[in-house]
């Protein structure tokens, strides 16, 4: 019978743990005190140590044998994903941060019994009560290990697939850097002697101009590298790079990187590919999402139902990716420590809270901080941690800026959005401009409390997954846009923002207002047909235009909701563009009377009169931006852009010659004389439309791939620009083309989303 193994003494157990990364720097007094809590545990092969989801009540050090790590799958089975060998700690992060077990641990079936040193949670409590500084030291060590684990996940994305030796050598050259919000990491004009990988936080690149202006040129988010280009070329830094919030990075200096290059030349190829890819993205791809992770939700007034709002908001975010709702009350309750959420930098509990929050940021795609109703330590922390501030107000409240808002803005350095809550949709929003005027708000959202769809739209915008439909100008050919809208509605694809130019602006306005009134696509088509069925019969003295616009203005007002409807008051975000003749620049209409913006966007020069805005003459946006996908891309924040073009590159190609000259009398004679040779030539309005849009059509060719996810050039060139009588036929062409182009894209998109879901799980 084999002799039973002698259990190690307390001194032997202490000797084991004093060599681990967690305890090796603690002083002897603290270690001797901790040794009182140490116990020895033996596991037979296959025996379980703990299960996934169990409460974290102890940390273990493996001193003999081997452990296997398993995670639960959706079908209830387990999958082994790793192992723990002698000298490795198990479960230290869960004990320190209060998290439940993230995996199940078993002794290896094929090995000898596993021997472990158990360090109970009470041991950390003893450290906290006798030596708070030592606890903070342990917490900072755990936090660094958490960052290192994240670095382990990020390195292959930067350096390519790595074997263990290469991985360890690269990690050994990394120097940890932590900077506070506002600190400058890289100074414009400084030598390019290092590169960094961002682990936690957010950086902003800013260029300082000679006239003193500072321009933000980009943001760096976790997992991205910064500074490698200057390090390779030996040139000076081209921009300042500063921390938007408290940030953790790893630094590779040039000497260390040169050592890696000498030993692993393939690494330089991988980094070079990253630099080239970044340049290509800047040149050819559409704008990326701002990659928001931490969101601070702030009430404008004390009576805002912030907890209920945040719960619904987070639940909706969870349908897009993992999200968690954190409030001071939830933090205190989860960690079981009263007022730990209010810990400031001088409090020994601060490091425990910081590590716990770091853990959540690593685990969840979105961390939503619900602030307190005052500027408490928790509120200040939430604002400092945030990538985005979301102010929440009730539309019926006083729109004046509050003192609390002002104090939050004094802390915040990131972009702010505004949510206005409405009980339902029985009343059209009014007076939104009074909310926007006193605030620096990037976007605002009207959210009806009784509509889940409004919360879903908000979540998609914040997550960078909003869907924008951009509709171009082209006269009657624009009825093809309704075929696209019909297809998207049939497939359940949301339209989170809609906008465009000329007929595209009108269709967008009809959708934005009609959708709220419950109109179906058929009703929208009918209303549009009526607006454009009679305006071109009202000829006028051709001093500034061929046609008067009185009837057109009347009909636009009637069908988009009247004179009082403002763009900023719409439930669905809308914009349109026009051309400023006075200043030769594009005007984007995001506020003001809806009918007026739609009218000027479709004001073809010489066909209908120009419109005066702020003292400048404005006409159809076709002159400068007939399909404003650049505006849509910016307003979607990197979401999905679907662009529909009804102005073909090749048009008017079937006209016969008519000799060396032509007059209007020749055209009239050929029409009224049945025996005269017919002259094929487009009418003046058609020529004016094509002349106006041709520059924008050519300009569009260079940016379509960069700025859109789906671009459709509708095959409508055989329809006349003024062929409003063929509206139904044009709609059908648009529908057929949308079916042909959009359905395969939607299928591919769905497969990609499923693939991403599998990889995340």
Tell me the catalytic residues. Answer: 502, 620
Do 66 and 108 form a contact (C-beta atoms < 8 A)?
yes
Quote the radius of gyration of the chain (alpha carbons, Å).
32
Percent composition of the chain: helix, strand, coil (DSSP 3-state, to 5) = 40, 20, 35
Interatomic CA distance for residues 359 and 142, integer angstroms: 10
Do 70 and 79 form a contact (C-beta atoms < 8 A)?
yes
Neighbouring residues of 4: CB distance < 8 A, sequence distance ≥ 6: none
259-273 core/surface letters (b: 16 or more CB in 10 A; e: else): ebeeebeebbebbee
- For helices 28-35 and 10-17, the axis angle rounded to 10 degrees is 130
Cβ atoms within 10 Å, residue 570: 22
Q: Is 223 left (phi over 0), alpha (psi -120 to 50) or beta?
A: left
740 φ, ψ to 5°? -70, -35
Long-range contacts from 176-180, C-beta under 8 angstroms, 24+ separation: 176/144, 176/147, 176/248, 176/249, 176/250, 176/251, 177/248, 177/249, 177/250, 177/251, 178/246, 178/247, 178/248, 178/249, 179/243, 179/246, 179/247, 179/249, 180/243, 180/246, 180/247
257 φ, ψ to 5°? -65, -35
Interatomic CA distance for residues 509 and 594, integer angstroms: 8
Do 58 and 91 form a contact (C-beta atoms < 8 A)?
yes
Alpha helices in 491-581 (DSSP H): 503-516, 521-531, 550-560
Would you give the distance in Å from CA 190 to the centre of its chain?
31
The DSSP bridge partners found for residue 390 are 297, 417
Nearest to 466 by CA among 485, 445, 450, 490: 445
What HEC string does 246-264 produce?
EEEEEEEEHHHHHHHHHHC
Q: Is 68 left (phi over 0), alpha (psi -120 to 50) or beta?
A: beta
Sign of CA dihedral 595, 601, 607, 611: positive
Would you give the distance in Å from CA 722 to the centre of its chain?
40
């Amino acid at each position: 019978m084999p002799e039973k193994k002698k259990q190690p003494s307390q001194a032997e157990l202490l000797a084991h743990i004093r060599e681990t990364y967690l305890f090796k720097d603690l002083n002897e007094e603290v270690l001797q005190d901790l040794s009182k809590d140490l116990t020895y545990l033996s596991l037979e092969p296959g025996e379980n140590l703990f299960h996934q989801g169990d409460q974290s009540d102890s940390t273990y050090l493996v001193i003999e044998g081997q452990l296997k790590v398993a995670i639960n799958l959706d079908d209830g089975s387990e999958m082994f994903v790793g192992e723990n060998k002698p000298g490795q700690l198990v479960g230290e992060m869960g004990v320190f941060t209060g998290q439940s077990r993230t995996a199940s641990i078993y002794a290896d079936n094929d090995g000898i019994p596993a021997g472990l040193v158990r360090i109970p949670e009470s041991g950390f409590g003893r450290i906290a009560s006798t030596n708070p500084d030592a606890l903070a030291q342990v917490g900072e060590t755990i936090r660094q290990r958490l960052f290192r684990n994240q670095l382990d996940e990020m390195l292959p994305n930067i350096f390519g697939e790595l074997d263990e030796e290469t991985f360890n050598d690269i990690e050994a050259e990394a120097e940890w850097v932590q900077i506070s919000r506002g600190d400058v990491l890289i100074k414009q004009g400084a030598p390019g002697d290092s590169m960094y990988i961002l682990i936690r936080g957010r950086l902003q690149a800013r260029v300082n101009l000679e006239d003193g202006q500072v321009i933000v040129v980009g943001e760096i988010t976790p997992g991205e590298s910064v500074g490698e280009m200057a390090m390779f070329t030996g040139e000076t830094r081209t921009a300042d790079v500063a921390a938007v919030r408290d940030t953790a990075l790893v630094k590779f200096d040039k000497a260390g990187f040169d050592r890696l290059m000498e030993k692993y030349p393939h690494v330089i190829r991988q980094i070079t590919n990253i630099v080239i890819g970044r340049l290509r993205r800047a040149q050819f791809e559409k704008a990326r999402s701002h990659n928001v992770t931490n969101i601070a939700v702030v009430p404008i007034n004390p009576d805002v139902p912030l907890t209920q709002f945040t719960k619904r908001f987070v639940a909706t975010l969870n349908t897009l990716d993992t999200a968690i709702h954190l409030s001071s009350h939830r933090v205190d309750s989860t960690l079981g420590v009263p007022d730990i959420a209010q810990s400031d930098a001088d409090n020994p509990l601060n490091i425990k809270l910081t590590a716990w929050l770091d853990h959540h940021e690593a685990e969840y795609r979105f961390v939503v901080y619900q602030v307190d109703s005052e500027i408490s330590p928790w509120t200040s922390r939430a604002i400092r941690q945030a990538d985005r501030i979301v102010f929440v107000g009730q539309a019926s409240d006083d729109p004046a800026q509050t003192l609390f808002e002002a104090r939050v803005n004094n802390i915040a350095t990131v972009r702010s959005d505004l949510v206005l809550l409405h009980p339902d949709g029985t009343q059209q929003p009014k007076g939104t401009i009074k909310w926007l005027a006193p605030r620096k708000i990037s976007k605002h959202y009207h959210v009806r409390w009784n509509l889940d769809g409004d919360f879903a739209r908000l979540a998609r915008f914040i997550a960078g997954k909003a869907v924008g439909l951009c509709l171009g100008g082209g006269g009657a050919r624009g009825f093809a846009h309704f075929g696209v809208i019909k297809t998207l509605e049939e497939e359940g694809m949301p339209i989170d923002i809609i906008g465009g130019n000329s007929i595209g602006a009108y269709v967008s306005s009809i959708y934005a207002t009609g959708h709220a009134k419950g109109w179906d696509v058929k009703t929208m088509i009918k209303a549009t047909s009526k607006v454009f069925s009679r305006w071109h019969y009202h000829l006028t003295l051709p001093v500034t235009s061929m046609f008067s616009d009185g009837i057109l203005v009347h009909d636009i007002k009637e069908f988009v909701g009247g004179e009082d409807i403002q763009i900023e008051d719409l439930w669905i975000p809308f914009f349109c563009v026009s051309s400023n003749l006075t200043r030769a620049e594009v005007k984007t209409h995001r506020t003001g009377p809806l009918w007026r913006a739609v009218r000027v966007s479709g004001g073809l020069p010489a066909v209908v009169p120009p419109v005066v805005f702020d003292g400048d003459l404005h006409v159809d946006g076709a002159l400068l931006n007939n399909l404003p996908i650049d505006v849509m891309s910016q307003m979607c924040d990197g979401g999905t852009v679907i662009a529909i073009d009804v102005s073909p590159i090749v048009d008017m190609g079937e006209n016969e010659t008519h000799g060396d000259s032509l007059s209007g009398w020749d055209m009239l004679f050929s029409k009224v004389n049945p025996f005269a040779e017919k002259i094929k030539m487009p009418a003046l309005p058609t020529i004016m439309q094509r002349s106006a849009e041709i520059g924008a059509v050519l300009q569009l060719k260079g940016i379509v791939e960069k700025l859109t996810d789906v671009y459709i050039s509708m095959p409508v060139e055989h329809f006349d620009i003024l062929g409003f009588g063929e509206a139904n036929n044009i709609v059908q062409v648009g529908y057929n083309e949308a079916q042909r182009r959009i359905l395969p894209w939607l299928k591919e998109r769905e497969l990609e989303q499923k693939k991403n879901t599998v990889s995340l799980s």
